[in-house]
Chain A
Amino acid sequence: SYVLTQPPSVSVAPGKTAKITCGENNIESKSVHWYRQKPGQAPVLVMYYDSDRPSAISERISGSRSGNTATLTISRVAAGDEADYYCQVWDRSSDHVVFGGGTKLTVL
């Protein structure tokens, strides 16, 4: 099994850019997906295949990958972006799913 490492918290001023990372030694061979969860709500898929965005998700949200680290970037951050963000991968060989520990995004 493996662990996806996310920073517990990220703080950013309104209008600035937030970057949330997700790292794991073997992530290179796996697609990374991202979810946003607001208090009291179910998670919502905001990015898949590392950098593909569902049609209902704002263009201000983008995803990227460099080696063993995936990054979710939110530009022109607004108060409505405050939420917990989780990365997730799927291990093809075992068909197991792993979630990162989550990152709380705070808009200052």
Chain B
Amino acid sequence: QLQLQESGPGLVKPSETLSLTCIVSGGSIRSSAYYWGWIRQPPGKGLEWIGNLFYTGTTYYNPSLKSRVTISVDTSQNQFSLRLTSVTAADTAVYYCARREIDPGRFDYWGQGTLVTVSS
């Protein structure tokens, strides 16, 4: 059974960089059939797609976040990571990592999510 687990600081100061890692177990991140993605959800609000990564390093980002986001992969550790720079209070959210079937783009496995609060 595939499992994804997010990890990283729960508190980040404004203007600093948010960094999270998603550890994948029960399956290989080196699959030609899947992307690996990040989705976030501000408290009380809806889901927002952040971006997707293919194990070769190819990435696709939400245009609204593209200038601040980097998603990278470490295939040797079977994990992928999210970096979001210059954070503000608006970036406070539960961050989920998930596996996404390349076509037609459904997210079939999700991590449990981790709350990141941006505050001084």
Residues in A lying within 8 Å of B, measured CB to CB: 1, 30-31, 33, 35, 37, 41-45, 48-49, 54, 84, 86, 88-90, 92, 94-102
Please report the number of residue pairs spanning A and B whose Cβ atoms sit closer than 8 angstroms: 68
The answer to whether B112 and A42 have CB atoms under 8 Å apart is: yes
Cross-chain contact of B47 among A1, A44, A86, A96 (Cβ < 8 A): A86
Those of B77-120 within 8 Å (CB) of chain A: 96, 100, 103-108, 110-113
Separation of A84 and B41 alpha carbons in the complex (Å): 13
Q: B21 in the interface, Cβ–Cβ < 8 Å? A: no
**Closest Cβ of chain A: how far from B98's Cβ, in Å?**
8
**Closest Cβ of chain B: how far from A23's Cβ, in Å?**
16
Known: A31-B105, A35-B47. 16 other contacts (CB 8 A): A1-B63, A31-B106, A33-B105, A33-B106, A35-B107, A42-B96, A42-B113, A43-B107, A45-B106, A48-B106, A48-B108, A84-B46, A86-B46, A90-B104, A95-B52, A97-B49
Separation of A97 and B110 alpha carbons in the complex (Å): 15
Q: Do A90 and B105 contact each other (CB < 8 Å), given the known contacts A1-B63, A96-B62?
A: yes
